[in-house]
Amino acid sequence: MFASLDTSAFLPPQASVFAEQYDLLFFYTCAVCTLGGLAVYGLLAYCCFKFARQEGVPSKRLLGSTRLELLWTVIPLLFFLSFFVWGVRIYDTAINPPEEANQREYFVVGKQWMWKIQHPTGQREINELHLPIDTAVKITGTSEDVIHDFGVPAFRSKFDVVPGRYTSVWYKPNKEGTYHLFCDQYCGQGHSQMVGKIHVLSQDNYQAWLEGSYRIRDGKNPVDGSPSWEGRKLFLKLQCVNCHNKESESRAPSLEAIYKTKRAIQGGTTITATDDYLRNSIRNPMLHVRDGWKPIMPAYTRSQVSEEELLNLLSYIKSLKPGDLPNRTESSPAPVGAKTQDTQAPGGGN
């Protein structure tokens, strides 16, 4: 009966399997207590009129009824026992994660006033957590300072993260979307600002997010710790951006949104920018020189770029969307407080 109710107008959405179970018990408890209260007040109103004192009519003497006493004792007891049994079953489900969840353990650290989160595969987030739909996951948390509480209303779940201890909970999201994350334990002056978002993605989008090619938040950088993130760091370290950039006078083609597109090659042919093409463009750039560009790209051997680094670099290039390329490092503004010109006296150099 309660499973078919639309509660979106007055309750957070049901975004996990546990939320559905929790709401069923919640509405059942509310219905029993409401109907029981109405029955008591209705009986009280009836008795007020039925046994009202009448002028000249002696009041009836009531000696009680064992049957009535048993009736209003046993019936509420049975309902209260149903609350207990149902609640214990849901609590047992909540505190004992299935084996599937133990295979995907996420780590959460609470700190005044932020949530720091790390995925099983190494990706890191702050005040955000991306999860795959229809997959059980385990969340293990602790705190750097005071007690915080990791609360997700859409999952009908919260658990304390305590300094010096590890506590855990598990979720199985079943509805795609973005949901609120709160600290549900007062933790200091910035408690109200300790909020975040839970993003439930489809399986394909989640895998793309792990690789760094799917981004739903503002900002152009791939997720910290992903292969694309590591590839971006290598891209800047090798100074690739000084040639491959978004400026009109760049010395090499732009790499934004090139994956699986047709590329014009010197000699009048075209080639699709597949993984092999990108790999050869790094290992042996003279093999396929772009039409209209000079062959100035150096070859990067395994001694310079390992296979693991090459995979990260390919992941970053494949993730690039229009406008994603960073600015050239030599043309970026100087950091705050850095010298912008040589102020040293003549003859004072090393």
Write out pLDDT tens, residues 83-130. Answer: 999 999 988 888 888 888 888 889 999 998 899 998 888 888 889 899
The neighbour count for residue 316, using CB atoms within 10 Å, is 26
> Where would I find the H helices in the chain?
17-50, 66-95, 99-102, 203-211, 227-237, 275-283, 307-319
Task: Say what the pTM is.
Answer: 0.67
Predicted confidence at residue 313, as pLDDT, reads 84
List Cβ neighbours of 1 (8 Å cut-off, separation of 6 or more): none
Contact in structure between 155 and 19 (CB atoms under 8 Å): yes
Integer Rg of the chain from CA? 32
Order of all β-strands in the sheet with 157-161? 128-132, 195-201, 177-183, 148-152, 157-161
Q: H/E element holding 117? A: strand 114-118
* Structure confidence by residue, pLDDT tens digits, 57-91: 777 777 778 888 888 889 989 999 999 999 999 88
Helix, strand, or coil (residue 193): helix
% of the chain with per-residue pLDDT over 70: 89
Predicted confidence at residue 346, as pLDDT, reads 37
Pair type for strands 177-183 and 195-201? antiparallel
